[in-house]
Chains A and B, each alone.
Chain A
Amino acid sequence: EAGVAQSPRYKIIEKRQSVAFWCNPISGHATLYWYQQILGQGPKLLIQFQNNGVVDDSQLPKDRFSAERLKGVDSTLKIQPAKLEDSAVYLCASSWGTDTQYFGPGTRLTVL
């Protein structure tokens, strides 16, 4: 069974630029999560989808972050414009309903 796929693995941008990350969950997993993991901290949930609907985006900085999950499969997370403090690893995870979450390898973002 293929795992959660993410791309790109690494991204370096200047502050105020925009960036997008892509995630393809495990086939059949209806629930998809995006996390932000700042160096030295645990993952922080940004947004959770069930199929193509948002069920929790309470910690998403909506002035600059957006996410979508068209057709209830893959998802993109966008930052526009990026700030220095957005430097982090962005993790995508998926689960079958409320069962165990499986994580992708992450995208390491560096904002200069």
Chain B
Amino acid sequence: AQSVTQLGSHVSVSEGALVLLRCNYSSSVPPYLFWYVQYPNQGLQLLLKYTSAATLVKGINGFEAEFKKSETSFHLTKPSAHMSDAAEYFCAVITISGGYQKVTFGTGTKLQVIP
């Protein structure tokens, strides 16, 4: 079984402040971890992914995430928030079983950036 928990359904930060979106996972086998961003009325866009190589993963738009196995976490950060970062962010855990993906998404965190 696998699961994803995103702490905080809504997060507000000031423009220029640090962004920290939390994701904890549970998996009985080594997972792949993803962060996706969703803008209003659009599909999900990949921000970054962890696939068992480097534990610190850099993504698009200045975002990065660190895989911490001991804490079962994959938190998303950005040093300085921009107005265009306002969106909903989803963490996902993927495991491979029988040659196909087993996918579980978190419930999402809506990021508000205050000017």
| Interface, chain A (partner B; CB < 8 A) | 4, 31, 33, 40-45, 48, 50, 55-56, 91, 93, 95, 98, 100-106, 108
Contacts and interface: CB of A to CB of B under 8 A. Distances in A.
Given A43-B44, A44-B105, A101-B103, 4 more contacts: A42-B92, A42-B105, A56-B102, A98-B96
B109 to A, nearest CB: 10
Q: Binding site of B, secondary structure by majority: helix, strand, loop or mixed?
A: strand
B90 interface: yes
Interface string B2-22: 001000010000000000000
B101 to A, nearest CB: 5
Nearest to B108: A42
A34 to B, nearest CB: 12
B67 to A, nearest CB: 16
Find the residue from B9, B98, B100, B108 having the highest chain A CB count within 10 A.
B100
B101 A31 contact: yes
Given A41-B108, A42-B107, A44-B105, A4 B100 contact: no
Find the residue from A42, A45, A48, A101 having the highest chain B CB count within 10 A.
A42
Interface in B34-53: 34, 36, 41-46, 49
Nearest to B9: A40
B43 A103 contact: yes
A31 B43 contact: no
15 contacts: A31-B101, A33-B103, A42-B105, A42-B108, A43-B90, A45-B103, A98-B96, A100-B46, A100-B49, A101-B46, A102-B46, A103-B43, A105-B41, A105-B42, A108-B41
